[in-house]
Structure 1
Amino acid sequence: MARLKPFFPKSHGKSRVDDRRLLSGIIFINRNGLRWRDAPKAYGPHKTLYSRWKRWSEKGVSARMMRGLAAEHRERKTVMIDASYLKAHRTATSMAEKGGRGRLIGRTKGGMNTKLHAICDSQGRPIDLFVTAGQVSDYNGARALLCSLPKVGWLLGDRGYDADWFREALQDKGIRACIPGRKQRKTPVRYDKRRYKRRNRIEIMFGRLKDWRRVATRYDRCPEVFLSAIALAATVIYWL
């Protein structure tokens, strides 16, 4: 809690309920995929848990925690980029015609889902996250995460990121790309196959994040709340 305290909003006026107890309850709900009304009484009223979680998500507290703790461990060698699908529950996809256009939920062969784009360091710890609708190309996620790349020597990615503009943008930043070329390329692209084998660490990272039920299955209609749940899981698993 001492490490997380600088990222909490400052209280104004009357002192608020204990942050430690509420944060423990929020973690319990997100990890087990429970409804807020099913929270154990030890964490206090479920309405207080939900209102605090909603308010923190709107302010981006969880994402600020993850980025702040990740900045303390500056990566200088290698980063990895990849994307993964997260299934959307019917509670998140309902009423799509009235207000679901901005929920970042799309339809693919696997059904309704959201795509999580992530950048992690050489040890497989997430540095930055970005969510889009499921049918969105990996290029859009790469374009959004490009500005947040740290100053490193290498970037590892799969064939989904083989684009000339992306390679040129990495070169302008002084980053060498270790990305295999697409099969449609007339001239094959050379890459470090030995270094590319380390990319499995970001796949392991996605698997560990999906151990949290409210990450593997999206129940929240608001994309900011869902992204906060992912950032909270990443913070607890990797940065605390």
Structure 2
Amino acid sequence: MEASLARNLMSDEEWAFFERFILAVRAPNGRKPINHRLVLDGVFWIARTGAPWRDLPDEFGKWSSVYRQFRRWTLTGHWEKILETLTESRIVPDALQMVDSTVVRAHHQAAGGKRGTPRQGFGRSKGGFTTKIHLRVNAAGLPMRTDITPGQTSDYLGFDRVMDDNLPEPVVLLADKGCDADRIRAELQNRSIRPVIPMRKSRKRRVGLDWHLYRLRNLVERCFNKLKNARRVATRYDKTAESFLGFVDITSIRLWIRHLST
């Protein structure tokens, strides 16, 4: 008998969490609702292995059906809503937050999406054909907000995207020198947020830094490392920005669930 390719499937506790957000609604054509737990396991399998959709094992169902359901959930902002619910619950401490970014290489087969590569979050940087993931995490090192931009995009733009939300405000925000700008420091102070950001070498007006607090920024680095255990996040195979960001959000949600279950 052939060994099953499906491992590390959802636990009953994890499915109980997702079931609250995923309703088995009949499709517009009147077909019987699909097994959403099996579909989710199929999506998680793709995220973990980085395999092409057509290589999805038959035990998860028809690959095209799983893919279409993934796209429906993604285009309706389903994953983002779940991540926002977790963040707004304030289950874990969030007085201390961090922002950072990382560049991931895009596979050459990811090119060719509609509306051109810049609109789909692709860019050219020192790493070649790349996408940049921007991340905002809490004191437990769990993602609060994610976004993507072309690989060569400045961290200033990424900062604006992940901080421009109605999420719980931090008391202290850690960031690297890529976010060292007078505009950013002034904005944080206007929001009663203490910035802990090292200075660029070119800065004329010197600013002090609490190095003891800044050492905690390794939490966001470790978060990126955990996210990249999902091969669909570590290397970008998706042509569309929505699908790639969807996999980033899915992996982020699973980090939350594993943290809360320990």
TM-score by length of structure 2 reads 0.86
Which of the two has greater helix per residue? 1
2:117, 2:123 within 8 Å by CA — same for their partners in 1? Answer: no
Report SS of the residue matched to 2:16. Answer: coil
Q: Measured at CA, do residues 188 and 85 of structure 1 come closer, stay the same or move farther in structure 2, by a change above 3 Å?
A: same
Partner of 2:62: 45
The counterpart of 2:218, out of the listed 192, 197, 200, is 200
Shift of 1:14: 4.7
Structure with more contact order per residue of length (Cα contacts < 8 Å, sep ≥ 6): 1
Report SS of the residue matched to 1:155. Answer: strand
Q: Report the Cα distance in structure 1 between the residues aligned to 2:105 and 2:60, rounded to whole angstroms.
A: 28
Q: Measured at CA, do residues 100 and 37 of structure 1 come closer, stay the same or move farther in structure 2, by a change above 3 Å?
A: same
Q: Which moved more, 1:23-32 or 1:33-42?
A: 33-42
- 1:182-221 alignment, distance < 5 Å: 182-221=200-239
Q: Does 1:80 align with 2:98?
A: yes
Deviations 1:120-167 (A, max 9, x none): 001110000011001110000111222225222100001011111111
Q: Does 1:7 align with 2:21?
A: yes
Q: Which moved more, 1:58-67 or 1:213-222?
A: 58-67
Partner of 1:17: 34
Unaligned 5+ runs, structure 1: none
Q: Does 1:222 align with 2:236?
A: no
Q: Does 1:67 align with 2:84?
A: yes
Report SS of the residue matched to 1:4. Answer: helix
Q: Report the Cα distance in structure 2 between the residues aligned to 1:123 and 1:99, rounded to whole angstroms.
A: 37
1:66, 1:239 within 8 Å by CA — same for their partners in 2? Answer: no
TM-score by length of structure 1 reads 0.93
Q: Report the Cα distance in structure 1 between the residues aligned to 2:22 and 2:257, rounded to whole angstroms.
A: 16
Q: Report the Cα distance in structure 1 between the residues aligned to 2:76 and 2:34, rounded to whole angstroms.
A: 18
Shift of 1:75: 3.7
Shift of 1:6: 3.3
Shift of 1:5: 2.6
The counterpart of 2:128, out of the listed 111, 117, 133, is 111
Shift of 1:95: 6.7
Q: Does 1:34 align with 2:48?
A: no
Report SS of the residue matched to 1:115. Answer: strand
Unaligned 5+ runs, structure 2: 1-14
Matched residues, percent identical? 34
2:24, 2:36 within 8 Å by CA — same for their partners in 1? Answer: no
Q: Report the Cα distance in structure 1 between the residues aligned to 2:23 and 2:206, rounded to whole angstroms.
A: 51
Q: Which moved more, 1:42-51 or 1:225-234?
A: 42-51
Partner of 1:177: 195
Shift of 1:109: 0.8
Q: Does 1:146 align with 2:157?
A: no
2:113, 2:120 within 8 Å by CA — same for their partners in 1? Answer: no
Q: Measured at CA, do residues 95 and 5 of structure 1 come closer, stay the same or move farther in structure 2, by a change above 3 Å?
A: closer
Shift of 1:202: 0.3
